[in-house]
């Protein structure tokens, strides 16, 4: 199953990357690579049944002090 996922990502790269390189869109190529890498990593972790923590917990931890500060006494 991992091989199938990696083949799908390689197909996406083969379709999208040459156009970005040809047009010299280097920033977009870097952003594309970063998001593709994140997606590929999360996909492989999900295939391997490795639990990935939800990003909402980090967001809640960041904003909780502000929420407490804004609460009326």
Q: What is the pLDDT of residue 67?
A: 86
Ordered by start, the domain boundaries in the chain are 2-70
Q: What is the pLDDT of residue 72?
A: 79
CA 34 – CA 67 distance, rounded (Å):
32
Mean pLDDT by 10 residues, the chain (73 residues): 94 96 97 96 94 90 89 78
Q: What is the pLDDT of residue 39?
A: 95
CA 11 – CA 33 distance, rounded (Å):
13
Q: What is the pTM of this model?
A: 0.73
Q: What is the pLDDT of residue 55?
A: 87
What sign has the CA pseudo-torsion 59, 63, 68, 70?
A: negative
């Amino acid at each position: 199953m991992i091989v199938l996922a990696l083949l799908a990502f390689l197909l996406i790269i083969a379709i999208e990357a040459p156009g970005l390189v040809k047009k010299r869109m280097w920033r977009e190529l870097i952003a594309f690579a970063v998001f593709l890498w994140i997606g590929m990593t999360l996909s492989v972790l999900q295939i391997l049944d490795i639990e990935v923590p939800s990003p909402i917990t980090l967001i809640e931890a960041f904003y909780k002090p502000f929420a407490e500060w804004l609460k009326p006494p």
